[in-house]
């Protein structure tokens, strides 16, 4: 089996091959991203176990992880909820918790809280700690591999010097990989959205992604820091020398 033979609905892919600003490319086989691992079939699971993955970062909430546990792929598992509310409390991502978090978010809607906070979450810090230690390959995922996973992928690519638009293009690929789920969702919601194109655009985020959501995450970084290296140094603990060393290690 090959990576591209995993069902696209799994949103399982890697970051290898993207070109950095200096012309080098991200080494393949180091950074894998996915939807829920429990959805892998036996053949796919056997293949994933053959990749030599050393760490799995599960960015789902405890509710999600306990409801649908990860299968064992022979790696060290890190269950790290990437989503917290403005008070720093973990959001369990079950329907009631999401509704409660939205209601308590006086500064904006739930999406603002989610995407504005992700670049600064503790879960990503721990992931970057493993990357700094060169303890790859790693696999990171959430439930659909689109939001929490997608922003993590964007940040890894930016850390490696890949330009912003290319990193956002990787984020957008979820809409290609999850086209079947998106199509089914829109069929179900047709009575609601048929006369409201704006509503359809907003509801894309239920099963797919909106580029504007990732742009919001990056905007929050830019509000606090003059550039991405400053963000990586202050939030992820990577000074200029470490960034250079990491790029020398993960780019060819």
Note whether 74 and 104 are within 8 A (CB): no
Reading the block at residue 223, the tokens are: 């509000």
Three-state DSSP string of the chain: CCHHHCCHHHCCEECCCCEECCCCEECCCCEEEECCHHHCCHHHHHHHHCCCCCEEEECCCHHHHHHCCCCCCCCEEEECCCCECCCCCECCCCHHHHHHHHHHCCCCCHHHHHHHHHHHCHHHHHHHHHHHCCCCCEEEECCCCCCHHHHHHHHHHHHCCECHHHHHHHHHCHHHHCHHHHHHHHHHCHHHHCCCHHHHHHHHHHHCCCHHHHHHHHHHHHHHCCCHHHHHHHHHCCCHHHHHHHHHHHEC
Q: Domain spans of the chain?
A: 3-177+210-250, 179-209
Comparing 27-41, 96-110, 132-146, 180-194, the range with the smallest average pLDDT is 96-110
Distance of alpha carbon 149 from alpha carbon 46, whole angstroms: 22
Omega cis (within 30) before 189: no
| Lowest mean pLDDT, pick from 142-156, 172-186, 200-214 | 200-214
CA–centroid distance for 167 within its chain: 11
The topology (CATH level 3) of 3-177+210-250 is 3.90.190
Q: 65 Cβ partners below 8 Å, 6+ apart?
A: 58, 79
Which pTM was predicted?
0.93
Q: Using one digit for the tens of pLDDT, what is the confidence trace for 75-84?
A: 999 999 999 8
Query: Among 22-36, 124-138, 177-191, 217-231, which is the least confidently predicted range?
Result: 177-191
Task: For 180-211, write each residue's pLDDT tens digit.
Answer: 999 999 999 888 887 787 778 778 889 999 99
Question: pLDDT value at position 95?
Answer: 60
Banded model confidence at residue 105, pLDDT cuts 50, 70, 90: very low
Give pLDDT tens digits for 36-88. 999 999 999 999 999 999 999 999 999 999 999 999 999 999 999 999 877 77
């Amino acid at each position: 089996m090959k990576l591209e033979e995993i069902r696209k609905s799994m949103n399982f892919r890697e970051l290898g091959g993207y070109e950095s600003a200096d012309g080098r490319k991200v080494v393949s086989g180091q950074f894998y991203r996915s939807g829920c691992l429990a959805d892998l079939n036996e053949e796919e699971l056997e293949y994933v176990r053959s990749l030599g993955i050393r760490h799995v970062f599960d960015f789902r909430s405890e509710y999600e992880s306990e409801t649908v546990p990860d299968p064992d792929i022979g790696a060290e598992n890190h269950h790290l909820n990437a989503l917290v509310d403005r008070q720093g409390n973990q959001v369990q991502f079950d329907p009631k918790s999401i509704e409660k978090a939205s209601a308590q978010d006086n500064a904006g809607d739930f999406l603002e809280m989610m995407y504005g906070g992700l670049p600064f979450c503790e879960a990503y810090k721990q992931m970057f700690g493993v990357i700094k230690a060169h303890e790859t390959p790693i696999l990171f995922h959430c439930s659909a591999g689109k939001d929490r996973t997608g922003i993590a992928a964007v940040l890894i690519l930016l850390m490696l010097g890949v330009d912003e638009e290319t990193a956002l293009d990787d984020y957008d690929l979820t809409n290609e990989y999850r086209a079947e789920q998106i199509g089914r969702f829109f069929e179900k919601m047709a009575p609601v959205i048929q006369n409201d194109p704006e509503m359809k655009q907003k509801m894309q985020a239920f099963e797919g992604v909106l580029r504007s959501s990732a742009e919001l995450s990056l905007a929050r970084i830019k509000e606090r820091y003059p550039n991405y290296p400053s963000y990586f140094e202050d939030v992820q603990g990577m000074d200029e020398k470490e960034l250079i060393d990491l790029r020398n290690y993960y780019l060819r």
